[in-house]
Chain A
Amino acid sequence: MKILVCISHVPDTTSKINFTEGDTKFDTNGVQFVINPNDEFGLTRAMWFKEKQGATVHVVNVGGPETEPTLRKALAIGADEAIRINTPATDGFSVAKQLASVAKEGGYDLVIGGRESIDYNGGMVPGMVAKLTGANFVNTCISLEVEGDKATAIREIDGGKETLKTSLPLVIGGQKGLVEESDLRIPNMRGIMQARTKPLTVKDPTDSNNETTTVAFEKPAPKGAVKLVDSVDELVNLLHNEAKVI
């Protein structure tokens, strides 16, 4: 089985979010970048397929040279090869088109993406890759087993879960549940050394226009101070008469 894991290069979850150039660009100053957490659950599940079922695992990212450390980290965790498509990731649809072209060309059986990236929260890339390549698609995927060309997946739905039977080629939008938090791997020294010599191919983007363009960013209005109350009577009174939520 050939697996392609799509990696988004995102600010660490603890990052303070600021903008620059008149609130039109994300301010990367002092920001640590990581593998998008939803993608990392998928990458870790891919490692399981590699170790238990002999799968090969490639990782891919759409972005400039500054995203390479994130790909090297994925190689250090255990991916076999990395691909970087050399264009900034500015629009979900165009990122999906780039990834779809890599997915088609490489003949992957399984493409693993994350439910959403934690920066733009678009949640569209895996589903679009599936549609563009004609593969089956399971979103918010919390469990995946593959046997031959058959797959069984569990999808989180609002208020529960749904078990699906489908076949390869398959694309998933993964999240926590694919593996547990405690299964996530920190690269060890051996992995980091090996990652330096594993292939990282840089590809030129295929032509595609952006369907959407973000023109400005805004931060939420600053919040007023918390109102501290001493009794539950007062709290219930405020929730009813002031906040009007009960």
Chain B
Amino acid sequence: MSIIVYTESEEGKIKKIALEAVAYAKGIADQMGTSVTAVTVNSNDTSELGKYGASKVLQVSNDKLNKFNAEAYADVLAQAAKNEDAKVVVLTSSANSKFLAPALAVNLDAGYVPNVVSLPESTSPFKVKHNVFTNKAFAVTEIKTDRKIIGLGKNSYGLKESEAAASTEAFSPNLDAHDFDMEIVSVDKATEKVTIADAEVVVSGGRGLKGPENWGMLEDLAKTLGAATACSKPVSDMGWRPHSEHVGQTGKPVASNLYIAVGISGAIQHLAGINASKVKVVINNDPEAPFFKAADYGMVGDAFEIVPKLTEKLKEFKAQNA
């Protein structure tokens, strides 16, 4: 018996959210008196996995799996789980993990709970707490199947280090032709920009910015902070910014360490989507804006004055603390 964790990589490098998932899996393994086996696909450096609690790494190397393929990756994980007699499989909340999870659940006949925020409250019966109603509430759900799949919410457990040292084994799953029914024609990805999914800091703009031409100052602020840029729903609906930047209930969820909202009033749908962020800052000229009730820090005033000043101050701060 063991706990399996899928450690996603990007261009061969294990992602930070995957390391968080390893640390979380180690937490469950300690509760259940077992160990963690990480499964990696075509990643060349697995040295960090031991540090976060993996005892064993199953390393899959297969050129057919160079591009992410939900069907095939679910197949790989299902075979790994069966080989290792795993009772629990831990996934992240990335787009790819959420894509493969349902197929894996059917494959293993396992109950699946995503957006989990903490270690199981108990492991027998197996109960986990997870976000529901787009961060407006939590639910505690019992998974009743023999095997369980958990999708860990981003930034909800942290990168806890362990003493374990991992041994690495090559793992060659059997892939069938049906795994490759879908052809990936092209991948269009901005490599130089920080994505909302991976960002530690997100800088977000609303209607208060008055027009798309004013986004330069937000981008400067984001660049200074190494942040991703995002926007409110009206801004994406009006076409000022692409849909991929829309955060909120029907857009992307944000679970960053710091979320800075500029000129966003704070509609309930927006606040729900960003609520999992740890620290929220609002800059708005309307002191009655609902966002002030949801934020940790606020500045009332003209964004066009405050944002460039804030960027300058942060540059100074970075120069001093470099």
Chain B residues within 8 Å of A, Cβ to Cβ:
68, 70-71, 94-96, 98-99, 101-103, 105-107, 109-115, 127, 129, 131-145, 181-190, 193, 195-198, 200-201, 225, 233, 237, 243-244, 246, 249-251, 257-258, 267-269, 272, 275, 278-279, 281-282, 292-300, 306, 309-310, 312-314, 317, 321
Contacts and interface: CB of A to CB of B under 8 A. Distances in A.
The 9 closest A-B pairs by CB, nearest first: A127-B102, A159-B195, A160-B189, A211-B111, A158-B197, A131-B106, A245-B258, A128-B102, A212-B111
A243 B197 contact: no
A235 B114 contact: no
A159 B230 CA distance: 12
A121 B151 CA distance: 12
A131 B198 CA distance: 29
Given A118-B249, A123-B101, 5 more contacts: A17-B136, A137-B102, A139-B95, A229-B298, A232-B310
Given A176-B246, A233-B313, A212 B137 contact: no
A108 interface: no
A215 B115 CA distance: 16
Contacts of A128: 102-103, 105-106
A14 B248 CA distance: 12
A162 B137 contact: no
Nearest to B195: A159
Given A159-B190, A236-B310, A120 B103 contact: no
Given A14-B269, A158-B94, A211-B145, A37 B134 contact: no
Interface string A210-246: 1111111111100110111110110110111001011
Contacts of A131: 102-103, 106-107
26 contacts: A37-B249, A38-B250, A121-B132, A123-B101, A124-B112, A125-B102, A128-B103, A137-B102, A140-B95, A142-B243, A158-B198, A161-B188, A164-B182, A164-B183, A164-B184, A167-B181, A176-B246, A180-B237, A211-B145, A215-B141, A217-B139, A219-B136, A235-B297, A239-B279, A243-B258, A243-B297
Main secondary structure of the interface of A (DSSP, over half): mixed
A176 B247 CA distance: 12
A165 B114 contact: no
Contacts of A239: 258, 279, 281, 297
A161 B279 CA distance: 29
B144 A217 contact: no
A235 B294 contact: no
A93 B137 contact: no
Given A220-B138, A229-B298, A211 B110 contact: yes
B98 A123 contact: yes
B296 A227 contact: yes
A148 to B, nearest CB: 16
A119 interface: yes
A217 B189 CA distance: 38
Interface string A145-164: 00000001001111111111
A63 B116 CA distance: 25
A136 B140 contact: no
A209 B143 CA distance: 12
B137 A217 contact: yes
A130 B317 CA distance: 52
Contacts of A216: 139-140
Contacts of B144: 209-213
Nearest to B144: A211
Given A181-B237, A226-B282, A215 B99 contact: no
B136 to A, nearest CB: 4
A223 B266 CA distance: 15
B81 to A, nearest CB: 15
B95 A158 contact: yes
Contacts of A175: 250
Interface string A1-32: 00000000001011011010000000000000
Contacts of A235: 281, 297, 299, 310, 313
Given A212-B144, A239-B297, A118 B134 contact: yes
A93 B110 CA distance: 9
A17 B269 CA distance: 12
